[in-house]
Structure 1
């Protein structure tokens, strides 16, 4: 009886130690690869209407002089287009936007997903990185560079941003 209790106690201690060691290892790896959540960047948009303008008097809906119903914006109407058509025009040249930090926010669509950087005069910051459907993503950050890699079925597409002793430069490696 006593021998059975000793074996049960040894098994319990060994199992507890193994679980603790496994948790510690997973926690260490996951905390090393996690990155800060992307910040939302306000987009400069033109207002569709102004509260200082006076609208004409309302017309009955059936009348020919009634103003047409609002149409969806150009971005909403192109969302139904094929992804390849939107991606080819966007990948030709990234669209810059003003950053609240004084830099320029640029999006870089690649075949594995989309990466957005806030490019300042002497540094850069990752705003967001979104993998395309079926792709996996990994992010590395160091003092003078950021790397975002998308992988799928043995294929690897990387977006590098470097800024050591020069303004930020973005390089896309898509073999």
Structure 2
């Protein structure tokens, strides 16, 4: 089943799942093929600095990714796109794409999505869980502590019934280095 091609959908796989920052008309579980969720972007703004980068999620090639799709009202398409470009393209480590996805109810849609640029100097290839945990446990950027970003992502993935064993391992190791979350 395909949806109206004039509909505007945005795919979230990291912080967009729990903090989209824009109004939407519908929120659905979604599956994107050809890309996987990966803690592969060195964050110099939101969760770290150039001197002490954090790590945030990107969509890297291969596999598939379960996340969330948001349907945005037609009249909000331009302002939401502008907002997302300001949020996601700060250092141009992401590339804006429109890709097909499948909603949880089986509908096939086209989504606006941000994938990582493997040629960008902020792309973090082959980071081990131990290396990621060390980075995540201590980095801080304008949007807060890197460890809080990982914790929030893991909470929302669990709520959706999504397991990311590697990210869970990073979270456990970062918690041991940083200490437990505080209320």
- Structure with bigger strand share is 2
Structure of higher CA gyration radius? 1
The two structures have a TM-score, normalised by structure 2, of 0.23
- Structure with bigger helix share is 2
The two structures have a TM-score, normalised by structure 1, of 0.24
Highest relative contact order (Cα 8 Å, sep 6+), 1 or 2?
2
